[in-house]
Each structure stands twice: as C-alpha cells, then as structure tokens.
Amino acid sequence: MRADKNMIQRLTQYIKSFSFWDFLVGMKVTGSYFWKKKITIQYPEESTPVSPRFRGIHALRRYPNGEERCIACKLCEAVCPALAIKIEAEPYADGLRRTTLYEIDLFKCIYCGLCEESCPVDAIVLTNMGDYHIEQRGENILTKEKLLAIGDQYEVQIAKDRAEDKAYR
C-alpha cells in the first residue's frame, strides 16, 4: 500500500482484496474453459492436417512403367549439407546407368530438402510422413530397397503433393 494513494483508492483496494475479487475473476476464466469444447487431437487416431510441402521421411520414386527414376547423377549427394547420402553407381546390363547403392542416414539428415530440389528427375523426394521410428541399431540407414518401397507405398500421396505445389516450384 503506497502512501500517495488517496482514501477511496485504498478503500476499494481493501474491499477488493477482502471480497477475493481478483481470485473470483481468475476462477471465472478457468470455470468458463471447463465447459468449452475440447481442442485435443487424439494423435494416433486423429491427426492435424499436413502441408504438401512438409519434409518427412525420404522416398525414391519410379516412373509409371516401374522403371527407377534415379539416374545416379549424384547431385543430391553433392548438395547434401549433412553428408547423409551415399551413392555408388555403375552401368547395368541393359546399358543404363543406375545406382548400386543409395543410402540415406536418417541420423545425419537435417530434412532441408535440398536433395529433392537438386534432383533433375524428381527421383528422391521427401514425403509428408513425419511419424516414423527406429527400433534397432542400423535401421537409421535407409537403403535403396527401403527407399523404393516407401516410394511405392506412398506414390499416390507423393504425386498429389507435388501436383498441389507445382505452381510454386
């Protein structure tokens, strides 16, 4: 209580503090929220909308005829700031250049999306799957088979996201 306050201010302050005015105001706020609709999203069953630009787990895509898109140009390997991509390549029996080894280390990856931007054939992409986990040591390395499998599994979603975002690329 400061000395320069006048009588009426002091009196109102006394009345306020003895009638628990501020406490009741606070309790009114929490009390009103008690009846409000709950905004919780129950995660495994429900999820928030995901942007088509979301950068989640990686995938290697194929052409509609089943042929791998990747031509082993190694631009992604070169651009990767975290050195998470490792590629080895040699010409296949049919004369086309393909990767024999394509590995992404998920622990190194920073999900910047530069690999996707650099890819001339849209082979390596970041899907919008943000919820995956690693159970065993070594599972953090995504091999070529795994990447292609992810691509096959989510191809519809990947194509849809790319189409939605096409105008801005």
Binding site residues, another protein, CB under 8 A: 20, 23, 26-27, 29-31, 33-34, 36, 38-40, 42
Count other Cβ atoms within 10 Å, centred on residue 22: 10
Cβ 30 to another protein shortest distance, Å: 4
Cβ 42 to another protein shortest distance, Å: 8
Cβ 160 to another protein shortest distance, Å: 32
Q: Nearer Cβ to another protein, position 20 or 63?
A: 20
Q: Nearer Cβ to another protein, position 20 or 92?
A: 20
Q: Any idea which residue has 């590995």 for tokens?
A: 103
Q: Nearer Cβ to another protein, position 40 or 136?
A: 40
Q: Answer yes or no: are the C-beta atoms of 114 and 79 closer than 8 Å.
A: yes
CA–CA dist 150, 144 (Å, integer): 10
141 to each of 28, 92, 100, 133, how far by Cα in Å?
A: 54, 24, 15, 12
Cβ 36 to another protein shortest distance, Å: 6
Q: Nearer Cβ to another protein, position 42 or 48?
A: 42
Cβ 38 to another protein shortest distance, Å: 5
Q: Residues 76, 50, 118, CA angle at the centre, nearest 5°?
A: 15
66 to each of 18, 60, 75, 116, 120, how far by Cα in Å?
A: 78, 12, 22, 20, 18
Q: Nearer Cβ to another protein, position 22 or 90?
A: 22
Count other Cβ atoms within 10 Å, centred on residue 127: 22
